[in-house]
Structure 1
Amino acid sequence: MARYGKEHKQATRQRIVEVAGRRFKRDGIDGSGIATLMADAGLTNGAFYAHFASKEELVATAVADQLRAQSASFGAQAPDRAGLEQLVRAYLSAEHRDNLEDGCPSAALLDEIGRCTDATRRAFTDGVLVVIDDIAARLAPDDPPSARAKALSVFAMMVGTLQLSRALADRRLADDVLEQGVHNALALLDAGPRR
C-alpha cells in the first residue's frame, strides 16, 4: 500500500507540473494562481502543499520540465544539418506561434523568468543549455563546445523572432517575420567554417 501511495503521489506531482507548464505558457507565471493550477490538475488548493513548498518551487520545476520536453522534441529530429533545418522551420512556424501552451517555454516565459527567483533562473539556464548543446552537437559533431556560442545566438534569434511574431496584430507581417527568421537562422547556421 505504501508503494502505491508513493507512486500515486509522484504521478500527481507530475500532473501538477505538466498542467502548470502549459498554463504558465498560456497565461504567464504571474497570471496563473495556485487555485487555477490545482483546478487544472483536478485537485484542491490544499493538495498543493503536499507536493510543493511554494509557487516558486513549482515554477522552477515546471520550467525545467518544459525544457526537458523541448530537448526531447529537438532530439527526435535527425542529428544532421537536415534535422537542424527541420527544427528551425518547425520552431519558426505559424503553428508553433499560434500554440502557446504547447510551444517553447523560452518564447512564452522569457521576460517573466528574468524576474523569477535564482532557483528558477538556474533551472532555466540548465535546461536551455541542454537545448543549446543539442544544436551545437548538430553544428559541430566532432567538437560541440566550439559551436556553443553560435547555437546560443541562433536559439536567441529564434526565440526573439517567435516572440515578435506573436506580438504583432498584423497576421501577414507576423508571417513575414517568421519567414525572414527562418532565412536568418539558416544563414547564421551556415556562416563561418563548417566542421
Structure 2
Amino acid sequence: MARYGKEHKEVTRRRIVKSAGRRLKKDGLDGSGVTTLMADAGLTNGAFYAHFASKDDLVAATIADQLQEQQVLLRQLADEPDGFTRFVRAYLSPGHRDDAEEGCPSGALLGEVARSSPAIRRAYSTGILGVADDLAALMTPGAPAAGRRQALGCIAILVGTLQLARAIDDPQESEAVLAEGARAISALLAAPEA
C-alpha cells in the first residue's frame, strides 16, 4: 500500500483548514463537531488526527490562516493610493455583513474566541496584531509603527460595527450602522493623537 507524500498531506491539511474556516464562521466554534468539519473537507474522521491533535488545534490553525489571508489582502491594498478607503468600504458593506461564511473571522467569531482555550486566543492574538501592523502600514504608509494603536482602534470599530449590523434585523437600520461605523473611523483618523 502506497503512502501519501508530505506534499499531499499539506494539501489535505490546507483543504481542511479552508473548509473549517467557512463552517466555523457560519456556525460558530461550537456549532460543528469534527465529523462535520471533516465531511466539509470531503474526508472522514479517521483522517483528522493525522493533521491535528485536537479540535482546538484545528480552530487555532484556522483562525491563524484566516487572519493571514487578511494580512495578504492589506499588503495588496498597500500598493493602491486609496487602499485603506477601499478596505473600509468593503468591510462595512452590506455584502460583507450578509456573508459571514466568507468574511472576516473577527466579525464572526470574536466573542467566542474571547471565551475559548489559551491556544485559540494565542493564535488569534498573534494574527490580529499582525493584521493591525499591516493595517497601520496601509493607514500611515510613512510611519506604520506609530499607527498600530490607531489601527487597533480602527479594527475595534470595524468589528463592532459589523457585529452590530449583523444583529439588527431591520435592513435600513443595519445599513445606517455600517455608515456610522465608517464615520467613526474617519473621526478617529482625524482626531489628534492623545
Q: TM-score, normalised by structure 1?
A: 0.93
CA deviation after TM superposition for structure 1 residue 143, in Å: 2.6
**Structure 2 CA distance, aligned partners of 1:81 and 1:151?**
18
Cα distance in structure 2, aligned partners of 1:70 and 1:139: 15
1:50 maps to 2:57: no
Q: Aligned partners of 1:142, 1:87: CA distance in 2, in Å?
A: 19
How many residue pairs align between the two structures?
Answer: 192
User: Retained in 2: the 8 A contact 1:25–1:100?
Assistant: yes
Determine the structure 1 residue equivalent to 2:131: 131
The equivalences for 1:1-195 within 5 A come to 5-79=5-79, 82-192=82-192
Paired amino acid for 2:6: K
CA distance in 2, matches of 1:147, 1:190: 13
Moved more, 139-148 or 166-175: 139-148
State how far apart, in whole Å, the 2-side matches of 1:71 and 1:78 are. 11
- In the TM superposition, residue 77 of structure 1 has moved relative to its aligned partner by 1.4
Root-mean-square deviation over aligned CA pairs: 1.5
Residue pair 1:28, 1:108 contacting (<8 A) in 2 also? yes
2-structure distance, mates of 1:128, 1:190: 23
- How many angstroms apart in 1 are the aligned matches of 2:86 and 2:39? 36
Alpha carbons 1:92, 1:182 under 8 Å: kept: yes
Corresponding residue SS for 2:77? coil
Letter in 1 for 2:30: D
Separation (CA, whole Å) in 1 of partners of 2:142 and 2:78: 16
CA distance in 2, matches of 1:25, 1:175: 21
Equivalent AA in structure 2 for residue 118 of structure 1: P
Q: Percent identity?
A: 54
Structure 2 unaligned residues grouped into runs of 5+:
none
Instruction: Tell me the distance in 1 between the aligned counterparts of 2:39 and 2:140.
Output: 45
Give the CA deviation at 1:191.
2.5
Q: Deviations over 1:47-88 (max 9, x none)?
A: 111111100100100000000111112222144662111111
CA–CA distance in structure 2, aligned partners of residues 184 and 79 of structure 1: 25
Judge conservation of contact 2:71–2:130 (CA < 8 Å) in 1. yes
> CA 1:112–1:125 in 2, change beyond 3 Å: closer, same or farther?
same
1:76 aligned counterpart, secondary structure: helix
Give the conservation status (yes or no) of the 8 Å contact 2:21–2:62: yes
Moved more, 137-146 or 49-58: 137-146
8 Å contact kept, 1:85–1:186: no
Q: Tell me if structure 2 keeps the 8 A contact 1:90–1:96.
A: yes
Letter aligned with residue 74 of structure 1: L
- Consecutive unaligned residues of structure 1, counting only runs of 5 or more, are none
Residues 81, 138 of structure 1: 8 Å contact kept: no
Q: Distance in 2 between matches of 1:180 and 1:164?
A: 11
